[in-house]
Structures are given as structure tokens and as C-alpha cells.
Amino acid sequence: MTEGGLRHFRALFISDVHLGARGCQAELLLDFLRYHDADTIYLVGDIVDGWRLRSSWYWPQAHNDVVQKLLRKARKGARTIYVPGNHDEFLREYYGTHFGGIEVAERHIHAGADGRRYLVIHGDHFDLVVTQARWLAHLGDYAYTAAIAINRVFNSLRRRFGFGYWSLSQWAKHKVKNAVNYIGEFEKTLVIEARRNAADGVICGHIHHAAIHNEFGVTYINCGDWVESCTAIAEHPDGRFEIITWTTMSPHGDSDREMESDAEIAHAAGGAVAGASDLVDAV
């Protein structure tokens, strides 16, 4: 922990933010980024929700602020690697290029502090629904969005009565047999891919279910998401991995000052705030 409450890690892994979707918890992610930093930051797919933006444009200031914050961290020296997923597949045309200091890669091998090798990949290529039945994937996406909207109203009522956040879809994933089986099969498939790449583990996203385990003989790590669970994976200097859950705003009082600082940087750069179009234009 550094002065001002900033926690610095060897690496941070963030996936499934879905900027451009109404369910995105951009304010919480921005708050998380203010108090967490790393030598290397991995954006493990579905950071921008191109599917949602194509059907209806939604890009509030908080979503701009998240992009600006990530670009700022890259400018300040954090190596930032973007591994696109299925929702931001438009970036797959730019493998091997950089924008704003952010590298775009199909996959990456992360070398842990302990010498272990981890395959970093979003994971949608190993989801048969996405690869073989895109219409069903889109249908499921709309159903998921509806569930998030219902969950948002439900949690608003819970807060009024003093209760904490509760995730409808996370509960369903644990209770519904088919969902549990789907998660298990996805994990096994990703572990097989890690072995095929001679890696000691795999770090992925896609299914919005944060996890760290070694149940299949290879370390499986999933970053979770910033729609419901608001989780990220952090690697400590000793090579230990941790799931960080950030479902409430930090009580620190200097957030407004940092927001003002970010705004000053954007103004100094010409007044343009990074947004969805900036991600493509910068490439």
C-alpha cells in the first residue's frame, strides 16, 4: 500500500467491462482504478461492448472516464495489453498494433513472478454457442441484459432497506444445473488449451464467473466481470494471485481531486476525452 491508499501489484487482469452497455458498472471500475495500479495491466476482452453499441448508442461520461484512466495508466508507464473478446471483436483486425500505448494481441503468455507461464486469452473461441450458433449467443445476450436490468431494480430496493448487493445471475449460475455444467466444461476446455500451449495456467474471462483453482491439474483463473460481480485478478510480487471484489465505492476522500486531475490532462491534450471511437481511431 502506497501513500494515498494506492495498492501496487505486479499485474492486474480485468475483463468483461462492457463499456457501452447500460449494465456496465463504470463508476465502480473507475473507483477501483484510482486505488489499484500495476506494472502490467491486462484487458482480457469484452472491455467495449460493440454488440450493444451497434444496436443502440449508449456512452455516458463515466465510460469515457474509464477509457481515459486506462490510457493515462499506459502513458505513466504501465504496460497495457488488450486481448479482445467476442463483444469487442472489431479490435481483432488490429493484432500486433498499439493505440495510446496499449498493445493489441490475440493471446499472450504472462510470465509469473515465480517463473510459471500463464496463457492469457478471453475464452470465447472455446464457447460452442459463440462459435457455432451466433444467433443464440445474441439472443442470450439480450436475455442477460434483461436480467441485469431486473437485478438493478431489485438491488435498488435492497439498498433502501439496508441490504447489500445481490446478483441474480450469479445465484442462477450456482443453482441451475445446466449453468454449472457449462462453467465446468468451459474451465476444462481452457485448461486443455493451456496445456497445448505448454503453460502452467490460463487466465481468461468471458463467462462472468471469477475463480482461481487447480481442480484440473493446471491453474485456472477467471477475471469475472464489471457488470455484476465487479472483480479483477491481481498478481502480488511473490507470484500469488488474488480475486479483488469492488462492489462498493471507496471511502477515500480524494477521488474528486483525481477526477479533476484527469480532466486537466484531457484538456491539456486538446480537450478530447477518449471514447469508443478513440479506441479505433488511435489504432
Question: Pick from 172, 201, 169, 208: which is nearest to 44 by CA?
Answer: 208
Give this prediction's pTM. 0.75
Going by C-alpha positions, the residue among 130, 36, 122 that lies closest to residue 81 is: 122
Residue pLDDT, tens place only, 219-233: 999 999 999 899 999
Place 154 in a pLDDT band, splitting at 50, 70 and 90: low
In 93-227, where does DSSP find H-type helix?
128-132, 134-160, 168-175, 177-196
Q: Who contacts 170 (Cβ-Cβ below 8 Å, separation ≥6)?
A: 209, 228, 229
pLDDT band at 164 (very low <50, low <70, confident <90, very high): low
Q: Quick one: how far is CA 198 from the chain centroid?
A: 25
Alpha helices in the chain (DSSP H): 26-35, 50-55, 61-75, 128-132, 134-160, 168-175, 177-196, 255-268, 276-282
